[in-house]
Amino acid sequence: MSETSKPLIHDAENCRRKLAESERIIGEMVEELSSCYESLSAIFRYSAEQTRISDLKAFSQRLLTDLLQIIGADWFVLRLVPSGRDHLAVFAASEPAPELAPLKIPASLQNTDAVEAEAGAAQREVWFDLLRPLDSSDPLSTVKRGSHGLVYPFFAGEELIGTLVVAKSPRANRYSSSQPGVVFTAGQTNVVATFANFLAIQIANNIKQSLVPKQLPPLPGFELAAIFTTC
pLDDT, tens only, 30-58: 566 555 656 666 665 665 555 456 788 99
Q: Which of these, 167, 158, 231, 152, lies nearest to 199 by C-alpha position?
A: 152
Compare 146 and 180 and report the one with higher pLDDT.
146
**What pLDDT, on the 0 to 100 scale, is given for residue 85?**
86
Nearest to 143 by CA among 166, 172, 120: 166
What domains does the chain contain, in order, with CATH numbers? 5-211 (3.30.450.40)
- List the beta bridge partners of residue 90: 79
Query: pLDDT-derived band of residue 222, with 50, 70 and 90 as boundaries?
Result: low
d(CA 60, CA 195): 10
pLDDT recorded at residue 22: 62
Residue 104 in 3-state DSSP? strand
Predicted confidence band at 113 (pLDDT cuts at 50, 70, 90)? confident
% of the chain residues with pLDDT over 70: 61
Tell me the pLDDT tens digit for each residue of 133-151: 999 999 999 888 889 999 9
- C-alpha distances in Å from residue 127, one per residue of 4, 53, 96, 166, 182: 50, 31, 23, 10, 10
Amino acid at 122: A
Whole-number pLDDT of residue 18: 64
pLDDT at 55: 86
